[in-house]
Amino acid sequence: MAVKIGISACVLGDKVRFDGGHKASTFCTQQLQPLVQYVAVCPEQAIGMGVPRPAIRLQRDTQQQIRLVQSRDNSLDYTEQMLDYTAQMLPRFAELSGYIVCAKSPTCGMERVKLYDTEGNALGKLAVGVYTRQLMQAYPWLPVEEDGRLLDPALKENFVSRVFACHDFQKTMRDGFSIGKLVAFHSRYKFLVMAHSPVAYHQLGKLVAEAKLFQPAELQLRYLTELMQAMRNIATRKQHANVLQHLQGFLKKLMDSAARQELAELINRYRCGRVPLLAPVTLLQHYLRLYPNNYLQQQVYFNPYPEQLGLRA
């Protein structure tokens, strides 16, 4: 089962933008592409807008509705066409594990898209692209990120973590949901969730413990949605260090004092920003090979995504 990610076609390098250009992302086309299956979409081109084409923008009308109009002539309104196209496409996206959209676009922008009034005056970066807004409303659990934000290492690592966690959940439940599968999945993700949100760690644990109170479909959707919301929080050094200390606690009785001190000092050096996360994680994995622990070895925290992405280095 491939990891399917929706993506704005221009971000893959397709020359479909209004000016005939593209916004190719090196990360998407070189690092991530060998590991995923992209579903490329240009909604503007899909509704018949040519390349090149007049620019479009988001406009708030007199009824406070946001419309998608041509910049030069706001009587040319593409809103209904875009909404109809998006409605047709949404059912095809149920199996996606993530979506990368083009920043600032009046159709695809995820946030801070420019909004104008009917006179052409800028009201600020207040809007969300018409296409992406419908996408996020239909699939509130879906990891969505903008190409520009993926230049930030923390945001990039966060998005990739969410994508592979979402895919793992989808793959686990592919042949049918069960409480047993949910318990096993949650057990593997405990420490990764703790790194992102200690509060959500307890909330999700309570949800799983009360699983029999919910209908299966409701429970499946609620767990995935809350998991993805929890993982949107950027894991801090302090939270990672807390998780690392918890993991060390499982092995401390098996390690001699020198080994315990070495690991504790490395965790502290990571907490203080002197070494990357990969350093204490690698040392912990070394001790796990010496002192096998089935529960810890199943933890996704150690390998939340393919190692070749190098995001923890």
pLDDT in tens, 90-108: 999 999 999 999 999 999 9
User: What digits encode the pLDDT tens for the residues 140-160?
Assistant: 999 999 999 999 999 999 999
Q: Counting beta carbons within 10 angstroms of the beta carbon of residue 290, is it exposed (0 to 12), middle (13 to 18) or buried (19 or more)? A: exposed
11 pLDDT higher than 90 = yes
pLDDT at 14: 97
| Average pLDDT rounded to a whole number, residues 291-312 | 96
CA 276 from centroid of its chain's CA atoms: 22
Cα–Cα distances in angstroms (integers) from residue 43 to residues 19, 93, 130, in the given order: 15, 14, 10
pLDDT at 78: 97
* CA distance linking residue 201 with residue 195, whole number of Å: 9
**3-state DSSP call for residue 117?**
strand
pLDDT mean across residues, the chain: 97
Q: For 288, list phi and psi in degrees, rounded to 5.
A: -70, -35
pLDDT at 313: 81
Phi-psi region of 205 (alpha: psi -120 to 50; beta: other; left: phi over 0): alpha
| Average pLDDT rounded to a whole number, residues 172-177 | 96
Number of C-beta neighbours around residue 77 at 10 A: 16
- The beta strand positions in 71-196, using DSSP E, are 98-101, 113-117, 122-127, 144-146
130: confidence class by pLDDT, cuts 50, 70, 90: very high
Q: Counting beta carbons within 10 angstroms of the beta carbon of residue 159, is it exposed (0 to 12), middle (13 to 18) or buried (19 or more)? A: buried
pLDDT at 88: 97
81 pLDDT higher than 90 = yes
Closest CA to 126 of 135, 114, 109: 114
User: Looking at 48-52, 61-65, 177-181, 256-260, which range is the least confident one?
Assistant: 61-65
Q: Counting beta carbons within 10 angstroms of the beta carbon of residue 113, is it exposed (0 to 12), middle (13 to 18) or buried (19 or more)? A: buried
* Domain residue ranges of the chain, discontinuous segments joined by +: 4-151, 153-231, 237-309
138 pLDDT higher than 90 = yes
User: What digits encode the pLDDT tens for the residues 217-249?
Assistant: 999 999 999 999 999 999 999 999 999 999 999
pLDDT at 62: 84
Which residues, listed in sequence order, are joined to residue 124 by a DSSP beta bridge? 115
pLDDT at 1: 84
| Average pLDDT rounded to a whole number, residues 270-289 | 97
pLDDT at 142: 98
Question: Locate tokens 């998407």: which residue?
Answer: 28
| Average pLDDT rounded to a whole number, residues 15-41 | 97
19 pLDDT higher than 90 = yes
| Average pLDDT rounded to a whole number, residues 260-273 | 97
| Tokens at 117, concatenated | 């009034």
